[in-house]
A and B are shown apart, each in its own frame.
Chain A
Amino acid sequence: MPAPPLELPDLDGLRVRLEDLRGRPVLVSFLRHAG
């Protein structure tokens, strides 16, 4: 399955795109909530 799009700002507001990491393995970890 192709990875769904993922383009979001980081904590400092800089946009990061999963697509820009193409060519290397990427671990994407969605966290539940802060605390």
Chain B
Amino acid sequence: MKVLDRRERLEAAGAAVLFVVHDDPALVRRTMLRGLDVPYPVLVDPAREAYSAWGLRRASAVRIWGDPRVWMRYLRVALTSARPTRFGVDTLQLGGDFVVGAAGVVVYARPQRTDDRPPVGVLLREVEQVAASSPW
């Protein structure tokens, strides 16, 4: 959710943002969204049908838990949480970032292969390119 720090650029581009989660809404509010001001819809997909439709798979346990960067991230979350952290039901589910153009075509797709995300600057550039090439 690092894009939240660049809200002004998203708004300048006229962009909409949709977050999608698969965990229970109460848990999402207590963990991911705690202390955050999220002005965009957070959609809930418990059956993960949208994840599947957008090509997002589950990673192997080795791919996720064999990566020391993942351990560091989880450790950071645990150390900065006021209360014991509870994680979602499936830590192997992968996410991804997509930019959909004004005509409803995917112009950028970055499904995760491990617990990684593209730099926010890359996503913003894609969004701004769509905005610059759109007729409005």
Contact = CB atoms under 8 A, between A and B. Distances in A.
Interface of A: 1-6, 8-11, 16, 18-19, 21-35
Given A4-B50, A27-B15, A27-B18, 8 more contacts: A10-B43, A25-B134, A27-B100, A30-B20, A31-B1, A32-B91, A34-B31, A34-B87
Given A8-B44, A34-B23, A29 B97 contact: yes
A4 to B, nearest CB: 4
Cβ-closest 3 pairs across A and B: A33-B88, A35-B87, A25-B130
B79 interface: no
B93 A27 contact: no
Contacts of B25: 11
Contacts of A3: 98, 100, 104-106
Contact of B23 (A4, A19, A26, A33): A33
A30 B15 contact: no
